[in-house]
Structure 1
Amino acid sequence: MNSNRLFFFLGFILFSLTASGQQVKNAKYTLTGNIEGLVSKAGYAKGKNFTAGYVYLSGIVRNGAYTTDSAKLTDGRFIFTGNVDEPSMAYIFCKPGERNSPVVLMMFLENSNISVTGKYSPDENSVKDPQIKGSAVQDEYAGLFENANNISGRTEIRRQYEVAMKKNDTAKLAALGKEGTAAMEKYTDYMREYTSTHPASFVNLYLLSDYIPREESGLTELENELKKFDKQLQSSFLAKNIISAIADQRKRLQIGPGIQAIDFSQPGVDGKIVKLSDYAGKYVLLDFWASWCGPCRAENPNVLKAYNTFNKKGLEILSVSLDENRAAWLKAVKADKLPWLQVSDLKGWKNEAGSKYMIQSIPENFLIDPNGKIVAKGLRGEQLHKELEKIFHRGDITSR
């Protein structure tokens, strides 16, 4: 992930069933942080309102659900206390300044005394060289991936690559590229061997949850992999989430090309109710986005270009924002110069239209024909223009 992005990912932790199963009853955690230079400002970013002087901790698994906590931030220091049902990847975050993106530090949370130290980098909006101590599962994770990188040769290749980059040694860079491909295969084999021989490893379960296949064949394979885990892990909160995600993806597969679009109504910028069915008899691109979504904002010029090219031929666009903050939504619409109708119920990820279309990530869109059927989805970049060109080039011009 690009260093300029807001997320600083540490990865997911490997641990045995003894370390990762149900946490000891009445056990608690104390998470102490000292991040040099970190401050917390009030404001709205990434769909959340931030309070000045506070840092947040999300991803806490408690009483069979995810929850979020907050703590006072003073001179870069903070303390969280509580308990978790089972280890989970948690997110420490706050809004450090005027940026539209919060700073996020990911770490594994378990019932133990954990300390987090590091230094905040304003330029990269990230915590540099974080040190996390007191978590046995984090230590095991670090050891596993360090071994995988060293044994495969990826660590040394990375070192040599940095040297070659500084010297602009193109021949060496090309050679390292080939070596890197071979090293990646060794790395993958190493990790695959471990995962296949450790059915009690919680990290294996997480790695399954990290990527839910889009197609039915992949979903069936994922279900079969779940059956290989120890019974205790199969009954964990994380395993139940994977099962739920599989069911949701199967429903999502039913909302695609050839399926009748689902009607909905939401208020527009002026407060008037707009229905998707208002566009009956026309080609309409149903677009889901949000003001805080970087990829959405980056894609908006492409969508605008498509609108300017094909609107006169019959294309309409209806954008649904997953914003919660009305001012931020309207500001983004104006800044990106979006001339088509915009609607939102300002419920964020709980947007009713988004729920009907089972929106899991944005940007997302659905191209709907004059008969109300979905003909394509997930069109971005040149793919959007090529699909529209095919439709309108063959003369599928709608009534205006």
Structure 2
Amino acid sequence: MKRILFCLAALISGLISWAQSGKNMVIIKGTLKGDLKGYPKIYLMTRSNTDSAIITNGEYSFSFPFEQPVFKSLFPEYLRHGNTMYQPFGILIAEPGTYYVNAETSTGMARSAEVKGPQAAELYRKFEQESSAAQMTISKTLAAIHGQNWYRVDEKDPAHAAVQKSRDSLQDLLYIPVIEQLLKKHPDSYAGAFVLSGSGRQIGTLEKKEQLLGLLSKKMQQSDAGKKFSDHIQGIKNSGIGKQVKNFVLPDPQDKDFSFDQLKGKYVLIDFWASWCAPCRQSFPRMREVYATYKGKDFEIYSISIDENKSAWLKAVKDENNPWLQTLDNQNISQSRFAVTGVPSTFLISPDGKIIASEVGFDPKGGSLIEQKLAELFGKKVPSPAAVEEKKKPAAPVKAIPMTRM
């Protein structure tokens, strides 16, 4: 009898445990109809993790435990083959539940995929579609005003200021209202906080950003995404030219704490980057030339990675083997102190700890604003890049990767 009771108790315990774990699961049920070109696999990815499933009769599924809000991208394997351009398509997973994704290959997931399920996922998908339409209108208007190649205008070009002014005005008129509508209608949704932590960093004045944050509920302002946006606002206040950089401490590759105060008395080029950022890693050869020119002259380069995957960071540090300081940003310093909106981003700090120059992106041909400042300070220019085959020469400065979904 005791044995029967014990077995019943174990069975009941197992059923309760199974029910509880089921409540904490994320299930993605998808359909992708159309020609897969013989490649039926589909990937579900974040920057640090990739899962895959087989599309059978146009259907596939994923399941995993919910741990915290996450944005996961779907990538059908057939897009790797042929000349099809892939536009990222993702799902905002803010809570456990079942998420339904329906799409067709003929129109592409980014354009036509339908997402059903928990509210935040549906709201974010709606925002994607509305904001995409707004951005398309902005792009067409800028092309009409400044020419079809308006987006290629470099910061050094005299026309850059006019293009930027037009773009800011159009975003105020067309793009920001899409965000405001989401926040006003759903102040307690994680979708709003997530949008601010990504797209919100790219647009608007400081005053407008503070207004947008105020539209979130107190609960969402305290969410991880809400705090990131709040940190970004504080970073804007901290990172202007002439601002004093307060001390911060981050871990190096050996897990030893490194204090920024240790660099007092030197000019410091702070470089924000990530292992997954191709432009960042393309910038390193030129940065090594900068380092070779000024090292030993009260100058130091200090690279700070925004990687969330520590192993990927450590591997990239080893592969690049750059001869300067490296740490991992596990304190969100990139936002709270510097308001970084894309990587690579660089800041030149004076010996007394003040910001004297900053840039987003880099020019592989040299001659950037920061290089000009260094030449002025040290009385010596960094040599021009060695001649290479014409087809290998970068045609234009490399833009930074926006931190829209980071």
TM-score (norm 1): 0.52
Amino acid aligned to 1:251: Q
Q: 1:179 aligns to what?
A: none
Pick aligned residue for 1:285 from 269, 281, 284: 269
Q: 1:211 to 1:127 in 2, by over 3 A?
A: closer
Structure 2 match to 1:62: none
Counterpart residue identity of residue 114, structure 2: I
Correspondence for 1:254: 238
Amino acid at match of 1:249: H
CA gap 1:364/1:144 in 2 versus in 1, 3 angstroms: closer
In structure 1, the partner of 2:371 is: 385
Match status 1:132 vs 2:118: no
Aligned-pair distance for 1:33? 1.5
Do the aligned partners of residues 34 and 318 (structure 1) sit closer, same or farther apart at CA in structure 2, a change above 3 Å counting?
A: same
Asked if the contact 1:105–1:127 (Cα under 8 Å) also holds between the matched residues in 2, the reply is yes
For structure 1, list consecutive stretches of 5 or more residues without a partner in the other structure: 1-25, 56-72, 121-125, 163-181, 396-400
State the AA in 2 paired with 1:293: C
Q: Measure the CA separation in 1 of the matches of 2:311 and 2:90.
A: 30
Q: Which residue of 1 aligns with 2:206?
A: 219
Q: Which residue of 1 aligns with 2:282?
A: 298
1:41 CA displacement: 8.2
- Paired amino acid for 2:247: I
- What's the offset of the Cα at 1:78? 0.9
Among 309, 314, 320, the alignment partner of 2:304 is 320
Q: Distance in 2 between matches of 1:313 and 1:114?
A: 59
Cα offsets for 1:285-309 (capped at 9, x unmatched): 2323232222321322332232233
Counterpart of 2:30 (choices 30, 33, 46) is 33
Distance 1:268 1:148 in 2: 43
Map of 2:349 onto structure 1: 368
Q: 1:103/1:283 Cα in 2 relative to 1: closer, same or farther (>3 Å)?
A: same
Match of 2:17 in 1: none
Output one character per residue of 1:213-260: Cα deviation in whole Å (capped at 9) or x when no partner.
689x93333444666x6xxx7467379778645542343222553304
CA contact (8 A) 1:307 1:316 kept: yes
Aligned: 1:307 with 2:294: no
| TM-aligned CA distance change 1:81 to 1:312, over 3 Å | closer
Contact 1:365 1:379 in 2 (8 A): yes
For 1:260 and 1:223, the matched residues in 2 are separated by 22
1:138, 1:353 → 2: CA distance? Answer: 27
Structure 1 residue 337 displacement after superposition: 5.3
Aligned runs of 1:182-201 on 2, under 5 Å?
199-200=184-185
Map 1:72-151; keep pairs closer than 5 Å: 73-75=53-55, 77-80=60-63, 90-93=71-74, 105-107=89-91, 114-119=100-105, 131-132=113-114, 134=116
Q: CA deviation at 1:334?
A: 5.4
Q: Provide the C-alpha distance between the structure 2 equivalents of 1:359 and 1:193, rounded to a whole number of angstroms.
A: 23
**3-state SS of 1:376 partner:** strand
> Aligned partners of 1:204 and 1:324: how far apart in 2?
22
State whether residues 196 and 226 of structure 2, in contact with CA within 8 Å, keep that contact through their aligned partners in structure 1.
no
Amino acid at match of 1:32: K
**Alpha-carbon offset, residue 276 of structure 1:** 3.6
The root-mean-square deviation of aligned C-alpha atoms, in Å, is 5.8
Secondary structure at the aligned position of 1:350 is classed as: coil
Asked which structure has the greater RCO (Cα within 8 Å, sep 6+), the reply is 1
Deviations 1:150-184 (A, max 9, x none): 999969x99xx99xxxxxxxxxxxxxxxxxxx9x9
Check 1:115–1:81 CA distance in 2 against 1; reply closer, same or farther (3 A cut): farther
Q: Quick one: which amino acid aligns to residue 78 of structure 1?
A: S
How many residues align? The count is: 305
Point out where structure 2 has 5 or more consecutive residues left out of the alignment.
1-22, 81-85, 149-165, 363-367, 382-406
Shift of 1:277: 3.8
SS where residue 113 of structure 2 aligns?
strand
Q: Tell me the CA shift for residue 380 of structure 1.
A: 4.7
Normalising by the residue count of structure 2, what TM-score does the alignment of the two structures yield? 0.51
Q: Closer, same or farther in 2 for the Cα pair 1:140/1:266, shift >3 Å?
A: closer
Distance 1:386 1:372, change over 3 A: same
> Structure 1 258/390 Cα, relative in aligned 2: closer, same or farther at 3 Å?
farther
Q: Name the CA distance, whole Å, in 2 between partners of 1:335 and 1:152.
A: 40
**Cα separation, 2, equivalents of 1:306 and 1:294:** 19
Deviation (angstroms), 1:329: 3.9
Give the distance between the partners of 2:46 and 2:125, measured in 1 at CA.
32
Identity score, percent = 19
Shift of 1:388: 1.3
